[in-house]
Structure 1
Amino acid sequence: MKKLLNYGNEFVKQSDWRDLALIKLCLCAIGMMWGMALPKKAHKPAVFIIVSVFVCTYIPLMLKLFRIINKDINKKKS
């Protein structure tokens, strides 16, 4: 398992924004396909889980982005 995590870390180090965007689009497509395959009675719980995962991943990503932007702005001021 540790090797898989190291491979993932190395992949991210060697990736640019386009690679990461493709990963996100792929995951989005998989999620939509999974959602379309669910029976009607399972749609509400699935939507709750999907929205929860989105919020729990989006907030940390945006916080990281804002820290980077803030660091760059402060660097330019000095």
Structure 2
Amino acid sequence: MKKLLNYGNEFVKQSDWRDLALVKLCLCAVGMMWGMALPRKAHKPAAFISVAVFVCTYIPLMLKLFRIMDNDK
């Protein structure tokens, strides 16, 4: 497991913004395909979980971005 994490770290070090954007788009597409495969009664809980994950990841990313932008001044 540690070796896989090291591979991931090295991938990120060697990537630029375009590579990371492609990873995010790929993960988004997989999530959408998974969501379409769920039964109708599971759509609301899945939507709630996906919104919660989005909010919990978006806020720290934006805070980091604002910190970087503030340090650039």
TM-score (norm 1): 0.91
Output the aligned Cα RMSD.
Answer: 0.6
Unpaired runs of 5+ residues, structure 1, are 74-78
Task: State the distance in 1 between where 2:47 and 2:65 align.
Answer: 26
**Which structure: larger Rg?**
1
Corresponding residue SS for 2:72: helix
Structure-2 residue corresponding to 1:69? 69
Q: Offset at 1:27?
A: 0.4
Q: 1:68, CA displacement in angstroms?
A: 0.5
Kindly, what percent of the aligned residue pairs are identical? Answer: 86
How far residue 12 of structure 1 moved from its aligned partner, in angstroms, is 0.3
Q: How does 1:1-78 map to 2 (within 5 A)?
A: 1-73=1-73
- CA deviation after TM superposition for structure 1 residue 2, in Å: 1.0
**Which runs of 5 or more structure 2 residues have no equivalent in the other structure?**
none
Query: Aligned-pair distance for 1:52?
Result: 0.7
Provide the rounded CA distance (Å) in 1 between the counterparts of 2:43 and 2:25: 21
* Number of aligned positions between the proteins: 73
